[in-house]
């Protein structure tokens, strides 16, 4: 028994060592650093002063509120559109695999590259988006250079980028639904709306729970798309600054790693709490 | 008057039905049969024989290539499945895993044009749940139920719209052997109590023999025999039926008819010794297959031929004596008490009023 255990630990050692080094240690280090101040090579204990600082920093609050706004708007809308598109491809469109591949393309393309393309699309003067809006006599906007539009632009881009992964996962889930479920429903005269709401949606709940968790986590960590859209900035006048931007800024630009780590810990706790609440919620929905 | 009576009698009528799939496979070739109101009919056959195709066409899930299907005297070929007044039980039941038993049973009453108020739907659902004895499972999810219970939920769900015809596609194949015996009796008593006309697809002859009021045996898209159960056994239409039905399987001996007698490799039977009333075709000289059920070929003092017993198998209250005849294994079904053992030389005698003669094409002539 004892011998077996030693062996087991030996076999586990590579994983344990690597995950401790690269997963657990950074988290602990960040947590410790959030109570320290000074530069990276010269840290000293300061207690809660970093937390006090960020809580009184309006920039922190605006970054956090931008992050939450982004998550709260992007994730549900992105999921809803994904479900709609996946259901359409699944139930109405021929050449499913072609469309599935097409929709998955953005996922394997670099966000930076897509972001650069979107800068052209969103451009206020010569962008395609404004051109199309004008064509249909709809009001246009200065998507990139108007501070009040920054978050909207980021959200639209976020929704677009979230579709690829969602749709592919949802298509897989739709394929797993027993086709006899629909045959039976049809035999009893169920309409396509009834089929969707009574059979498809409940069957998708576990997948939606998974996607919701994944999407919310990645929404809280949004950075690259903003970086790409605004050419490395957080929008005009920090109008699209989010949590990760704040952290990066405090760490790299301002040189206060303690403050950055305090913000990291807060973001970490926020993600943890949201995920936990979601799981509870989805469990409840799944039971009904 | 006679006409009305006929319509009522033959509740389901299938006329010259043909089905050719897109890939050119002809699943059904000119199939005609009818089913009486309230009967439980088994569609039997090996896999790929067309029985499920037949069921799906009755359900309206497939369109026939030609021919007609009539329910209660009216053609339903152009009627959508939902308007055919049928209940369908799938092989895997297809119960909705996210709904409780009650919700599953209520489902047909809560969708489409036949939608009823929730209270009313619940009342009807509960009535059928009582009949199928699943009332106490109302709030369970299908995942927590045994195979037999799931089966009953599926049947209750198929019955709530009060269909005229119940279609079941191999409903017992997902159950273990013991449960299968129990459930098949339950199904029979249930559909008889409800009084619904039922078509039941199976590949298991025992199942068909035990529960069907009549059996329609398919092979290669053609009806081989449409008859009551015992006739498949006692009076098979052809070689296929004789070999498909019966356990242990029938013994077949290659014989020739010439000079007024049937000659096997080591036995001769004068044609005059046959039961003349059973002769169905001309016994012209030529090659035939003589088939005899194992219980009709028994050890006796004066047998038709002698065989060496190669093995003795015990099956409950009977034993099967196995022997080689012309290099083909044959069987004799004897009492448990027999003292015959492996290696014994035994004289075997056939009951001539129970043997069958088939032509090379499989047509029965005796």
Would you say residue A200 lies in a domain? yes
Q: How many domains does chain A have?
A: 1
The verdict on a CB contact (< 8 Å) between B90 and A188 is no
Condensed to tens digits (0 to 9), the pLDDT of residues A57-102 reads 999 999 999 999 999 999 999 999 999 999 988 887 778 788 888 8
Residue A66 exposure: Cα atoms within 13 Å on the Cβ side: 31
User: In which domain, by residue range, is A275 found?
Assistant: 46-287
Longest dimension (CA), chain B: 79
pLDDT tens by residue, B187-224: 899 889 889 999 999 999 989 999 999 999 999 999 99
A285, closest residue in chain B (CA to CA): B98
Q: How big is the A-B interface in CB pairs under 8 Å?
A: 56
pLDDT at residue number A239: 87
Q: Is residue A10 situated within a structural domain?
A: no
Helix spans in chain B (H): 2-9, 51-59, 101-106, 118-131, 147-159, 177-194, 205-211, 229-234, 239-244
Residues of chain B found within 8 Å of residue A190, distances taken between Cβ atoms: 111-112
Considering only CB atoms, B111 lies closest to which of A181, A183, A188, namely A188
pLDDT at B7: 47
B96/A202 touch (CB, cutoff 8 Å), yes or no:
yes
pLDDT at B2 over 50: no
Lowest-pLDDT range, A54-58, A88-92, A190-194, B287-291? A88-92
Measure CB to CB from residue A184 to each of B60, B94, B97 and give the nearest one: B94
Chain A closest-CA separation from residue B325 CA (Å): 49
Q: Do B81 and A187 lie within an 8 Å CB cutoff?
A: yes
How much is the pLDDT for A1?
57
A31 domain residue, yes or no: no
Is B231:B238 a contact under the CB 8 Å cutoff? Answer: no
Pick from B58, B54, B62: nearest CA to B31: B54
Name the closest residue on chain B to residue A201, using Cα atoms.
B98
What are the φ/ψ torsions at residue B20 (nearest 5 degrees)?
-115, 125
Q: Which of residues 167-186 of A touch B (CB under 8 A)?
A: 178, 180-181, 183-186
Q: Which of A154, A133, A137, A121 is nearest to A241 (CA)?
A: A154
Report yes or no on A236 lying in a domain: yes
Closest Cβ–Cβ partner in A180, A181, A186 for B82? A186
Q: Is residue A36 part of a domain?
A: no
CA separation (Å) from B149 to A112, A281, B141, B212?
Answer: 56, 31, 11, 22
What CA–CA distance (Å, rounded) separates B129 from B133?
6
pTM (predicted TM-score):
0.79
CB proximity A198 to B under 8 Å: yes
Q: pLDDT > 70: what percent of chain B? A: 98
What's the pLDDT at A288?
A: 59
Asked if the structure places residue A35 within a domain, the reply is no
Residue A151 has pLDDT above 70, yes or no: yes
CATH number at residue A146: 1.10.3720.10
Q: What is the layout of strands, in order, in the sheet containing B328-335?
A: B297-299, B345-350, B305-315, B318-325, B328-335
CB contact under 8 A, B98 and A183: no
What distance in Å separates residue B52's CA from the closest CA in chain A? 14
**What residues in B contact A205, CB-CB < 8 Å?**
98
Q: Indicate whether A161 belongs to any domain.
A: yes
Q: Retrieve residue B329's tokens.
A: 């294994």
Closest CA to B361 of B281, B264, B304: B281
Does the pLDDT value for residue B355 go beyond 90? yes
Domains and CATH numbers, chain B: 2-243 (3.40.50.300), 248-359 (2.40.50.140)
**Chain B residues with beta carbon closer than 8 angstroms to that of A185:** 107, 111
**CA angle A148–A150–A155, rounded 5-degree value:** 120
Interchain CB contact of B111 with A (< 8 Å): yes
In a domain, A34, yes or no: no
Q: Which two three-digit tokens encode residue A166? A: 């969602």
């Amino acid at each position: 028994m004892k011998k077996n255990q030693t062996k087991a630990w030996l076999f586990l050692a590579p994983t344990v060592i690597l995950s401790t080094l690269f997963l657990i240690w950074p988290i602990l280090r960040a947590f410790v650093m959030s109570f320290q101040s000074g530069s990276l090579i010269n840290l000293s204990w300061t207690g809660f002063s970093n937390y006090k600082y960020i809580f009184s920093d309006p920039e922190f609050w605006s970054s956090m509120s931008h992050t939450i706004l982004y998550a709260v708007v992007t994730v549900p809308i992105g999921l809803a559109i994904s479900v709609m598109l996946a259901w359409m491809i699944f139930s109405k469109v021929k050449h499913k695999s072609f469309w599935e591949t097409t929709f998955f393309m953005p996922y394997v393309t670099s966000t930076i590259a897509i972001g650069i393309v979107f800068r052209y699309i969103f451009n206020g003067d010569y962008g395609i988006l404004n051109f199309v809006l004008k064509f249909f006599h709809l009001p246009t906007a200065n998507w990139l250079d108007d501070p009040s539009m920054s978050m909207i632009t980021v959200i639209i881009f976020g929704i677009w980028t979230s579709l690829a992964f969602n749709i592919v996962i949802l298509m897989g889930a739709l394929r797993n639904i027993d086709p006899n479920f629909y045959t039976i429903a049809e035999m009893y005269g169920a309409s396509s709306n009834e089929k969707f709401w009574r059979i498809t949606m409940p069957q998708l709940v576990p997948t939606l729970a998974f996607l919701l968790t994944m999407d919310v986590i990645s929404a809280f960590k949004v950075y690259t798309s903003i970086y790409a859209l605004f050419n490395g900035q957080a929008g005009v006048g920090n109008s699209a600054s989010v949590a990760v931007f704040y952290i990066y800024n405090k760490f790299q630009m301002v040189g206060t790693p303690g403050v950055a780590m305090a913000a990291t810990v807060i973001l970490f706790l926020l993600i943890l709490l949201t995920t936990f609440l979601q799981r509870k919620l989805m469990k409840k929905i799944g039971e009904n | 008057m006679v006409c009305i009576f006929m319509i009522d009698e033959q509740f389901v009528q299938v006329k010259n039905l043909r089905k050719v799939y897109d890939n050119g496979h002809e699943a059904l070739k000119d199939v005609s049969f009818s089913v009486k109101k309230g009967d439980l009919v088994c569609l039997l056959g090996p896999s790929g024989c067309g029985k499920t195709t037949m069921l799906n066409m009755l359900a309206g899930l497939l369109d026939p290539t030609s021919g007609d299907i009539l329910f209660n005297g009216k053609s339903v070929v152009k009627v959508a499945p939902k308007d055919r007044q049928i209940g369908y039980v799938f092989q895997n039941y297809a119960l909705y895993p996210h709904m409780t038993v009650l919700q599953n049973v209520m489902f047909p009453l809560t969708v489409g044009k036949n939608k009823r108020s929730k209270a009313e739907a619940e009342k009807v659902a509960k009535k059928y749940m009582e009949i199928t004895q699943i009332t106490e499972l109302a709030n369970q999810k299908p995942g927590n139920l045994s195979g037999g219970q799931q089966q009953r939920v599926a049947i209750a769900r198929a019955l709530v719209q009060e269909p005229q015809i119940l279609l079941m596609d191999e409903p017992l194949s997902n159950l273990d052997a013991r449960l299968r015996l129990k459930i098949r009796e339950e199904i029979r008593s249930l559909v008889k109590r409800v009084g619904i006309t039922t078509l039941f697809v199976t590949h298991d002859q025992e199942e068909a023999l035990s529960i069907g009021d009549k059996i329609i045996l398919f092979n290669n898209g053609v009806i081989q025999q449409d008859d009551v159960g015992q006739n498949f056994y006692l009076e098979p239409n052809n070689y296929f039926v004789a070999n498909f039905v019966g356990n242990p399987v029938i013994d077949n001996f290659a014989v020739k008819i010439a000079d007024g007698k049937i000659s096997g490799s080591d036995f001769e039977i004068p044609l005059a010794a046959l039961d003349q009333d059973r002769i169905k075709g001309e016994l012209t000289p030529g090659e035939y297959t003589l088939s005899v059920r194992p219980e009709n070929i028994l050890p006796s003092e004066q047998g038709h031929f002698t065989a060496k017993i190669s093995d003795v198998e015990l099956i409950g209250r009977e034993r099967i004596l196995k022997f080689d005849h012309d290099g083909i294994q044959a069987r004799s079904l004897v009492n448990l008490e027999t003292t015959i053992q492996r290696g014994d030389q035994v004289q075997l005698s056939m009951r001539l009023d129970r043997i069958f003669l088939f032509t090379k094409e499989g047509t029965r002539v005796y």
